[in-house]
Structure 1
Amino acid sequence: MQRELFKPRELAVKPTTKNGPRLWFRRLVIWGEPDAKPIQDIEFGPGLNIIWSPDPADRSARDDGEAPPGPGHGAGKTLVCRLLRYCLGEPHFASDVLRSKISSAFKDGRVGVELIVDGAEWVVVRSIGVFGHDVVLEGGTLEAAVSSNTAPTGIAPLIDMLVERFLTADVAALVTKSREGEEETEAQRRAWLFAIAWLTRDQECHFGKATEWRAAASESGSPARRLSVGDANNVVRALLGAITPREHRLEAEVEKLGRRREDEGRGIERRRWLIEQSLKRILRAVELEGKPLPEGDLLGQFLRNAARVRVAQVAVVDAKGELASVDDLEAKYESERKEVERLEAELSSAETKRSTAEAVAKQIASETPGLTASLDEAEIPTCPVCEVPIDRVLAEGCKLSHKLPDVESLRQRQEKNQRDLRDKKAEQAAAEEALKRLGPQLKAATTRRDKAWADLRAARRQRDARTEVWYAARRIGDDVGDLEKLLTENAEAEKTLADIDTTLKQRREAAGAERDQHGQVFARLGQHFDPLVRRLLGPKSEATGRVQHDGNGLNLVVEYGGERSTPAINLVKVLAFDLATLCRSIEGATKLPPLLIHDSPRSSDLGLSIYHELFHVVRELEKAGSGPQFQYIVTTTSRPPDDLVGDKRVRLKLNGSPAEARLLRRDL
């Protein structure tokens, strides 16, 4: 019904200026070294600018007079885009590997652009070699800026000027969050890099998402490479003028409150678990498991009373009772142990005495026969001449023997030998008697000692068990105190969480109200997005498009026989979104310059009819105003529409081979 009653909206753009684009590239020059002839000198103009590297299979009859081109890839289209944004302040102009190859080939290479900003001429020269040398001049010429005699200025003056002209300090503060210890100017320069990222998407992103501008693999050094979805949405809103400092502050508060709420929630859940475990332990200790319990403040007092009852049940009333008897048993055991040690010592001594006496008695007994023989021989001597026993008197009288044995001495030795033998026999007998007596005594003492030890161990176990139960009962009171503390802390945390929820709701509502006030920004953006979608998909497609933004972020919708979200349709969404933003920039409604650089936007199996319509739409935008009020630079391998193949808008044609046909005119 609506399609029948209302005519679809047509694309209409109302420029706010007649002086041309506020920012556009007029010239790109590449030098192998300063003061040398340029490798490339490319002129650009307002409106559509095409960098084309023809595909050999994409030819028509109009190309018969030309030599077949080399491969359409590897010619340097992407490098052109990267060099342009490098001259706008991006840190790197290629991947690490390619930069290394280029700097090796052109050790003092330079790239420069003539840039028109609000009608004023600026020249920028940056190093692509191993020697850093960046120059920014207002007015002047590229030839002067690239001269070895020109002192470097760094790229910061250009970025600061562009921030002041387009973003302003307030908008830059909305675009990016200041880092700790970072100066305000550095944050503003990072904000400009976000703007560049949107205006000059990486080819590696394949135009898949509206807020995905830089691929990490591109190694561009841009802060947009790892930008979160939420931060990217804030960048879009800030650059579109769809967010105010108050809303930005409210959203920061919402984010902070959200993190605090998560922390409080985790703390509450942890304390609830601790409370549950503590309560189980206390109830088990006071033997109240499974019993009904009071709630609220009564629970603590109830558990304290139960703890006191438990302590009374296991307390020791009589100091001389069960626990005190352990001391008596220890004294008894010690006495029995010493008695065993005494008997063992006596037994060992008696055994030693018996063994010694027996050994000495045997030795004495072994000497007795010799002494008896010696005495007998001394009493009846034998003649040394005839070896016949003689009478002592005769011997003394005849003086035949002048030396006779000392009989008295031998007799004394024999008597002593006999006395010693009797004494040792007596000692041996006494020791054996002691052994017979001490053995049973030691056995009985050992039995008494072992029993005393067993009694002492049993008493100690009983005392320890009783003491442990008593102390455990006493600890219940401490556990109840800890439980009450946890309950109090959790109650306060739950109150805090409720307050946070209330405040969070208020801040979200306030932020939502602010967001609703800026809803017309996206509505007006949608007034360009809808006809652009329809133009790209074809007038017969009856497609419609709209731009939505809510608390969940930016959402691009294309209705095409139902809501569509294929890779090719998503690419159309991104192209239409960028072009709609370009239209709003032409109308002076954004914080972005009316500039777009699209590197090979035909991907995701995009139909050639849609792709060619992109060029037609851009050409139509050139007619808005007294002349093109924007600049759109696009690189392509696919053939442009026939009416543009020989047009001046094709600023540069490149080929993958031979080497001279590439951007840098050599192999790397």
Structure 2
Amino acid sequence: MQRELFKPRELDVKPTATNGPRLWFRRLVIWGEPDAKPIQDIEFGPGLNIIWSPDPADRSARDDGEVPPGPGHGAGKTLVCRLLRYCLGEPHFASDVLRSKISSAFKDGRVGVELIVDGAEWVVVRSIGVFGHDVVLEGGTLEAAVSSNTAPTGIAPLIDMLVERFLTADVAALVTKSREGEEETEAQRRAWLFAIAWLTRDQECHFGKATEWRAAASESGSPARRLSVGDANNVVRALLGAITPREHRLEAEVEKLGRRREDEGRGIERRRWLIEQSLKRILRAVELEGKPLPEGDLLGQFLRNAARVRVAQVAVVDAKGELASVDDLEAKYESERKEVERLEAELSSAETKRSTAEAVAKQIASETPGLTASLDEAEIPTCPVCEVPIDRVLAEGCKLSHKLPDVESLRQRQEKNQRDLRDKKAEQAAAEEALKRLGPQLKAATTRRDKAWADLRAARRQRDARTEVWYAARRIGDDVGDLEKLLTENAEAEKTLADIDTTLKQRREAAGAERDQHGQVFARLGQHFDPLVRRLLGPKSEATGRVQHDGNGLNLVVEYGGERSTPAINLVKVLAFDLATLCRSIEGATKLPPLLIHDSPRSSDLGLSIYHELFHVVRELEKAGSGPQFQYIVTTTSRPPDDLVGDKRVRLKLNGSPAEARLLRRDL
């Protein structure tokens, strides 16, 4: 009886539209080149659409035809999803490697879709080859859009239209912020890429987290690839209508105040450390360590008085009194140094003179014997040729020589030689006398100079030491001033921090109040999430689901014999969350079109019964209203439920081999 009073909620969706989905794909066409026969021409419809690549081992007795010759993988299912996303405005339709192979095979290849938006037909054609050529037309046909004669428009007109129809500029501003120097329209187009990331999850994300939509490995070019958890949470709230511009501004203020509070806190801690170190240094300098100190404003004045006392103790008296005058010692040293230089110069000059006189005297003395012999020979000359005395030659005559030596000239040269030798010996004697006199004088002067230098250095050291002590004492006063400045700054910072805490509390309360006003958004989402969890896990499972949102973000909870969080249960959470969001979009309660594309959602060893129930739930949603008010496209390798195997909802069957059975009908 008690269980009947709390009967589990059933899935109940109330569409606001009656004429079909606000946005849905009607047709996908792939061309190898413009104006050629299409490689693929796939029709879609509102409601459930299945792209199936059967596994040969996954067959039933109800299956008709031959067993598929190849595996169900590598057939092109993911490429179908990527091409649909590409035609909604995503930058890339495949990984870099696959894009390169496709563009090499189809240098002027194109892909196009017929898109129905609020009942109006739009056609989009984009390049998959080497040559970029994007065309967006309202009305018209794909055949006209793909024609080589149609001028490109770029993809921006489509994105701008979709932003206007679904997101609006205000919501787009909540989804993503404009970058510096960026136009507002660029930020709005980026916001649309976040929206389609949610509607068309990457298979590489494995449906592991509700707000993980794009994987870096897919190389989609989507900004959602690097989305933080906090930013993804803001995107969800904005697209669900669970945040207003005011709340967004409040949260931005809270974030900014939080950063400022952290900065102020770090500054206070750093100044506290500096204050502690400075106070220790000052107390040690004024010899007050361990003694009681006044607090507050009295501390600064107390330390200043102690510093003045210390300066008085070490003040330098007049240098003439206590210390020898450094100036006098410098003058004395300079005088002694010059005297040493003078004596060294005289000594060097005397040594030069003595050496020179000695050398010249030796030279002169060496010439004396030769001059004496020449004079002797001149007085009794002999013929140099025949060695006959000259007087005989003069008497008898000589035919060989008539030149006779000049005796007078030789006598004069001998006299000059003797005179010069006496002069140089006198000079040498005088120089030697000077050397004997200057040596002791230089030695004494050098001793006096060295002593004067030693006295000067000692005086300088004593003066510098006393000056250093005096300056150190003076610096205590400066340190006290710096300490007072730090104390003042820290007091002001602590007051600022208190003001920030007050403001931060107010902003958080205001933001919390805004969130509470929008709390019903997640409550209503949970009203769909709960029955969807129960349907997927089985009606007898007694499972329940909740969508929670608080300051920590989005949290999906499944109670299934206790709160569960296995890989398969997490997958169920994501599927139920996406379907619940789709239900709210059908009811016109989100900023998203009622569109969902799931690429091979059976992962994490998901049970086949749960997987088949996904198809049954979507078929049930088709019955809400006057007809399907949504479009759900799913690719699968696993076999759909038997009642759908031959149904028209299976829009395309692919296979990994032969090449003709793949999406692009060829090897790459």
TM-score in terms of structure 1 length: 0.91
Asked if 1 retains the 8 angstrom alpha-carbon contact of 2:324 and 2:459, the reply is no
Deviation, 1:509, is 0.9
Deviates more, 1:364-373 or 1:146-155: 364-373
The Cα offsets for residues 10-35 of structure 1, whole Å up to 9 and x where unpaired, read as: 22222223222222112111122222
- What's the offset of the Cα at 1:256? 1.5
Question: Cα deviation per residue 1:398-435 (whole Å; 9 max; x = unaligned)?
Answer: 99999998888777766665555554444433333333
Instruction: Pick which of 546-555 and 31-40 moved more.
Output: 31-40
Q: What residue is the counterpart of 2:549 in the other structure? A: 549
Q: Distance in 2 between matches of 1:632 and 1:127?
A: 25
Q: Return closer, same or farther for 1:122/1:360 CA change in 2, 3 Å cut-off.
A: closer
Cα distance, 1:579–1:384 mapped onto 2, change above 3 Å: closer
Cα distance, 1:76 vs. partner? Answer: 0.8
Question: How far, CA to CA, are the matches of 1:403 and 1:177 in structure 2?
Answer: 126
1:261 is aligned to 261
Deviations 1:286-316 (A, max 9, x none): 4444444333222322333333333333332
Distance in 1 between the 2:390 and 2:21 partners?
167
Q: Deviations over 1:55-77 (max 9, x none)?
A: 12212223363233311111111
SS of the aligned residue for 1:92 comes to coil
Q: Please, which moves more after superposition, 292-301 or 491-500? A: 292-301
Which range is displaced more, 446-455 or 12-21?
Answer: 12-21
SS in 1 for 2:504: helix
Preserved CA contact (<8 Å) 2:264 2:493: yes
1:237-268 deviation line (CA, Å, top 9, x unaligned): 11111112221111111111112222222333
Matched with 2:18 is: 18
Q: CA deviation at 1:597?
A: 0.5
- Tell me if structure 1 keeps the 8 A contact 2:174–2:245: yes
Deviation at 1:174, TM superposition (A): 1.9
C-alpha contact (below 8 Å) 1:322/1:463 kept by paired residues: no
Output the CA distance in 2 between the equivalents of 1:158 and 1:400. 136
Q: Give 3-state SS (helix, strand or coil) of 2:320's partner.
A: coil
Distance 1:661-1:402 versus aligned 2 partners, 3 A rule: closer
For the structure 1 residues 372 and 621, does the alpha-carbon distance in structure 2 shift closer, same or farther, using more than 3 Å as the test? closer
Give the Cα separation in 2 of the matches to 1:589 and 1:417: 136
Quick check: 311-320 or 568-577, which moved more?
311-320
CA-based RMSD: 3.5
SS of aligned partner of 1:598: strand
Deviation by residue 1:303-350 (Cα, 9 ceiling, x = unmatched) = 333333333333322142456611111121122222222222232233
Change (3 A) 1:348 1:109: closer
1:175-218 per-residue CA deviation (whole Å, 9 max, x = no partner) reads: 22222233333222222221111111111111011011111221
Change (3 A) 1:169 1:359: closer
Partner of 1:219: 219
Alpha carbons of 1:435 and 1:149: their partners in 2 closer, same or farther (altered >3 Å)? Answer: closer
Superposed displacement of residue 476, structure 1: 3.3
Please give the per-residue CA displacement for 1:217-248, whole angstroms capped at 9, x wherever unaligned: 21222221111111111111111111122211
Q: CA deviation at 1:517?
A: 1.5
Q: TM-score, normalised by structure 2?
A: 0.91
SS at 1:320's partner residue?
A: helix
1:72–1:656 CA contact under 8 A, matched in 2? yes
Q: Quote the offset at 1:46 in angstroms.
A: 1.5
Contact 1:381 1:392 in 2 (8 A): no
Q: Could you tell me how far apart the structure 2 residues matched to 1:128 and 1:343 are? A: 101
Structure 2: distance between partners of 1:399 and 1:63: 158
State the distance in 2 between where 1:400 and 1:117 align.
Answer: 147
Q: Is the 8 A contact 1:52 1:653 kept in 2?
A: yes
Q: Is the 8 A contact 1:53 1:75 kept in 2?
A: yes
Contact 1:395 1:401 in 2 (8 A): no
Distance 1:10 1:445, change over 3 A: same
User: Does the aligned pair in 2 maintain the 1:598–1:635 contact within 8 Å?
Assistant: yes
- Whole-angstrom CA distance in 2 between matches of 1:308 and 1:323: 24
* Contact 2:54–2:68 (Cα < 8 Å) also in 1: no
- Please give the secondary structure, in 1, of the residue aligned with 2:390: coil
For 1:42, what is the secondary structure of its paired residue? strand
| Residue aligned with 1:458, SS | helix
**Alignment correspondent of 2:476:** 476
Query: Following TM superposition, by how much is the alpha carbon of 1:657 offset from its aligned partner in structure 2, in angstroms?
Result: 0.8
Question: When the two structures are aligned, how many residues end up with a matched partner?
Answer: 668
Conserved 8 A contact 1:110-1:125 = yes
Separation in structure 1 between the aligned mates of residue 134 and residue 390 of structure 2, nearest angstrom: 148
How far is the alpha carbon of 1:663 from its aligned partner?
0.8
Shift in alpha-carbon separation, 1:143–1:333, aligned structure 2, 3 A: same
Give yes or no for contact 1:201–1:597 (8 Å, CA) kept in 2.
Answer: yes
* Structure 1, 234-243 or 551-560: larger mean CA deviation: 234-243
Q: Displacement, 1:366? A: 4.5
**Residue in 2 that maps onto 1:423:** 423
Q: What is the alpha-carbon distance in structure 2 between the residues aligned to residue 70 and residue 16 of structure 1?
A: 45
Give the C-alpha shift of residue 132 in structure 1: 2.7
Matching of residues 84-95 of structure 1 within 5 Å = 84-95=84-95
User: Is the 8 Å Cα contact of residues 136 and 145 (structure 1) preserved in structure 2?
Assistant: yes
Are residues 324 and 566 of structure 1, via their aligned partners in 2, closer, same or farther at CA, if it must alter by over 3 Å?
Answer: same
Q: CA deviation at 1:48?
A: 1.0
CA contact (8 A) 2:56 2:67 kept: no
Distance 2:57 2:443 in 1: 115
Over 3 Å counting, the alpha-carbon distance change for 1:400 and 1:174 in structure 2 is: closer
SS at structure 2 position matched to 1:267:
helix
- Hey, what's the Cα distance between the residues in 2 that align with 1:382 and 1:81? 139
Measured against aligned partners, the alpha-carbon deviations of 1:512-535 in whole angstroms (never above 9, x if no partner) come to: 111111111111111111111111
- Which ranges of structure 1 fall in alignment gaps of 5 or more residues? none
Question: Could you say what secondary structure the match of 2:397 adopts?
Answer: helix
Contact 1:125 1:142 in 2 (8 A): yes
Tell me, yes or no, if the aligned pair for 1:55 and 1:69 is still in contact at 8 Å: no
Partner SS for 1:136:
strand
Change (3 A) 1:438 1:93: same
The aligned residue for residue 194 of structure 2 is 194
Does the CA-based 8 Å contact 1:213-1:224 persist in structure 2?
Answer: yes
Q: For 1:541, what is the secondary structure of its paired residue? A: coil
Sort the Cα spacing of 1:560 and 1:361 in 2 relative to 1 into closer, same or farther, 3 A: same
95-104 vs 353-362, which moves further: 353-362
Distance 2:389 2:627 in 1: 173
Find the aligned partners of 1:86 and 1:390 in 2 and give their Cα distance.
138
Cα pair distance change 1:347/1:50, threshold 3 Å? same
Separation in 2, partners of 1:77, 1:446: 104
Q: In terms of mean alpha carbon deviation, does 312-321 or 639-648 score higher?
A: 312-321
Unaligned runs of 5+ in 2: none
Q: Is the 8 A contact 1:594 1:631 kept in 2?
A: yes
Distance 1:382 1:90, change over 3 A: closer
1:112-145 CA-to-partner distances (Å, cap 9, x unmatched) read: 2222222222222222223333232333322233
Q: 1:571 to 1:393 in 2, by over 3 A?
A: closer
Cα displacement string for residues 343-391 of structure 1 (whole angstroms, at most 9, x for unaligned residues): 2223223333333343444445455556666777788999999999999
